[in-house]
Amino acid sequence: MSDTSLTPGIVAGRLDPKAYTENFSDLHPRLEGHEARVAADRCYFCHDAPCIAACPTEIDIPLFIRQIATGTPEAAAETILSQNILGGMCARVCPTETLCEQACVREAAEGKPVLIGQLQRYATDTLMEAGTHPFTRAAPTGKRIAVVGAGPAGLACAHRLAMKGHDVTMYDGRDKPGGLNEYGIAAYKTVEGFAEREVEWLLKIGGITVETGKRLGRDMTLAEMRGAHDAVFLGIGLGGVNALGLEAEDKDGIANAVDFIAELRQTGDLASLPVGRDVVVIGGGMTAVDAAVQAKLLGALNVSLVYRRGRDRMNASPYEQDLAASKGVRIITNAQPVAIHGNGAVREIEFEYTDNDLTPTGQTFRLAADQVFKAIGQTLEGGDLPDLEGRKIKVSGAGRTSLDGVWAGGDCAVGGDDLTVTAVAQGRDAAEDIHASLMG
């Protein structure tokens, strides 16, 4: 984060110590056994279930809910994890309200869907807490595969390849595996170190070696990876952050929202994190909402989220928008930043209202700001990559790139949409294609 020496409004310890624990407690505590069975009984177990089609990983949702209803949550978890090995995290962070639960027949009939996400968490948590891993490795194939990036796509790819009997080495530039699950999701969605525990559980399949602190383009080249392995999967995410394109963007108090969230996720003492009195977050996606809500939960007095389009165009779901509003975040739409004011450190951000087609209206306003977080999208970083389409890696089929023996998936590839569940599906499908290619 940026230097706060010139921003006296940014301080740590704004709240009573107990408030941090309360504010960052589990957003949706796990269902108890009786609650889960009652929730499962609401499912119609549709033969042509629309919820399956709405799930990017195509989990057999009616089957796993029936297994919960009959008292076998471990079997339900295996049904889930066979399609989505990160089903525990997805149960916590997936926008189920716009995916499976929106497609639920109960939602269409009553406006109250089956609690698919919470039931998925109940099942996967039950299995993980038992310490078992329901999958085993096939006979060794002798093939060596590099997975670059230990985020959701890379983890899903590595696990499926290990199941097939391949030896996998995962490389990641950070100190810990997990990618955005570990560094980029609001702390109240994944409490008690769940992301790290899920990775540890996933690695029980065996056959996967993790090498952290190794970044493509800095510590190794793609050519080296191709030369040393039978196949390479790129799940490198989007490491760069888009700039506002304004003068004085380097003033103290202005930082990237992803860095703020990462620092918050890795701290052992929330009270030690400095936060401003007047916080402005620029953007309209999940990162923007997570930054805004967490700034408020850390004790910021005023938090405004400003997006250049209307609410209906925000990437953050209506549920997440409502969550932000319920925590006291003010959401301002159809406004884009035009100037940063302050002497050395930011003091105000000036915005101009826009029409629905982003045409400036000439009407401006200012917001007091001692801390500003940029959340206007991320970009692909690094050279020596396969052909790009736009600003992402061009892929065909199940993640095949322009280079023989190189696949890609997740946010770095065309088709990635900043959802953990989509990244898992792409990593899984690429692994199946890699296996088929290597084994003829």
Reported as a single tens digit per residue, the pLDDT across 185-195 is 999 999 999 99
Question: Once rounded to an integer, what is the mean pLDDT over residues 123-135?
Answer: 95
Reported as a single tens digit per residue, the pLDDT across 392-429 is 999 999 999 999 999 999 999 999 888 999 999 999 99
Residue ending a domain, among 358, 377, 396, is 377
What per-residue confidence (pLDDT) applies to 386?
Answer: 97
53 lies in which domain range? 33-129
Of 416 and 2, the structure prediction assigns the larger pLDDT to 416
Same domain, 46 and 118: yes
Instruction: Tell me what pLDDT residue 382 has.
Output: 83
β-pairing, 208-212 with 231-234? Answer: unpaired
CATH number of the domain that 116 lies in?
1.10.1060.10
The total number of residues written for the chain in this structure: 440
Question: How far, in Å, CA of 371 to CA of 348, rounded?
Answer: 9
Q: Which of 84, 102, 129 is the last residue of a domain?
A: 129
Picking from 244, 241, 252, the residue whose alpha carbon sits closest to that of residue 274 is: 252
The reply to whether 134 falls in a domain is no
pLDDT exceeds cutoff 80 at 118: yes
Q: For residue range 45-81, what is the model confidence (pLDDT) as tens digits?
A: 998 999 999 999 999 999 999 999 999 999 999 999 9
The percent of residues in the chain predicted with pLDDT above 90, rounded, is 94
Contacts of 241 (CB under 8 A, 6+ apart): 256, 258, 374, 377, 378, 379
Task: Please tell me the distance from the alpha carbon of residue 117 to that of residue 31, in angstroms, as a whole number.
Answer: 11
272 and 287 together in one domain: yes
One-letter amino acid of 17: P
Whether residues 358 and 400 share a domain: the answer is: no
CATH of the domain at 309: 3.50.50.60
38 and 122 inside one domain: yes
Q: Which residues pair with 396 in a beta bridge?
A: 400
Q: Within a domain: residue 79?
A: yes
Whether residue 285 lies inside any domain: the answer is yes
Shared domain for 294 and 361, answered yes or no, is yes
Residue that terminates a domain, selected from 129, 161, 186: 129
What is the number of alpha carbons within 13 Å of residue 339 lying toward its C-beta? 8
Confidence bin at 303 (pLDDT 50/70/90): very high
Does the residue 139 lie in any domain? Answer: no
* Alpha helices (H) along 190-243: 194-202, 222-228
Given a contact cutoff of 8 angstroms between Cβ atoms, the answer to whether 84 and 57 are in contact is yes
pLDDT at 103 over 70: yes
- Tell me, yes or no, whether 285 and 319 share the same domain: yes
pLDDT in tens, 232-280: 999 999 988 999 999 999 999 999 999 999 999 999 999 999 999 999 9
Same domain, 302 and 395: no
pLDDT at residue 2 above 60?
A: no
Q: Name the least confident of 82-86, 137-141, 381-385, 425-429.
A: 381-385
pLDDT at residue number 356: 86
Residue 320 and residue 245 in one domain:
yes
How is residue 371 written in tokens?
Answer: 């801390």
Average pLDDT, the chain: 96
**Pairing assessment for the beta strands 371-374 and 278-282 based on DSSP bridges:** parallel
Residue 138 lies in a domain: no
Buried b (16+ CB within 10 A) or exposed e, 269-301: ebeebbbbbbbbbbbbbbbbbbbbbbbbbbbbe
pLDDT band per the 50, 70, 90 thresholds, residue 318:
very high
Structural contact between residues 113 and 435, judged by C-beta atoms closer than 8 angstroms: no
Give the dihedral sign, CA 80/84/85/88. negative
| CA dist., res. 145 & res. 160, Å (int) | 12
Are 422 and 335 part of one and the same domain? no
Tell me: pLDDT of 7 over 80: no
Are 111 and 197 part of one and the same domain? no
The pLDDT value given to residue 8: 77
Closest CA to 306 of 373, 371, 370, 357: 373
Q: Give the whole-angstrom CA distance, residue 340 versus residue 350.
A: 6
The answer to whether residues 364 and 384 belong to one domain is no
Please give the biggest Cα pair distance in the chain: 67
pLDDT of 3 over the 90 cut: no
Q: What's the CA gap between 242 and 428, in Å, rounded?
A: 29
Q: How far apart are CA 334 and CA 354, in angstroms?
A: 5
- Tell me the pLDDT tens digit for each residue of 329-341: 999 999 999 999 9
Tell me how many domains the chain contains.
3
- Indicate if 61 and 186 belong to the same structural domain: no
332 sits in which H/E element: strand 330-332
Cβ(295)–Cβ(279) under 8 Å? yes
CA distances from 96 to 91, 387, 416 (A): 8, 33, 17
Q: What pLDDT shows up at residue 383? A: 80
Tell me the per-residue pLDDT of 199-210, one tens digit each, with 9 for 90 and over: 999 999 999 999
pLDDT band at 6 (very low <50, low <70, confident <90, very high): low
Angle (CA) 180 259 413, round 5°: 40
Q: pLDDT tens digits, residue range 352-391?
A: 999 989 999 999 999 999 999 999 999 998 888 999 999 9
**111 within some domain:** yes
Mean pLDDT over residues 167-171, rounded?
98
* Strand pairing report for 335-341 and 167-172: unpaired
Q: Whole-angstrom Cα distance, residue 79 to residue 61? A: 9
Residue 2 lies in a domain: no
Q: Is the pLDDT of residue 19 over 80?
A: yes
Beta bridge partners, 347, equal none
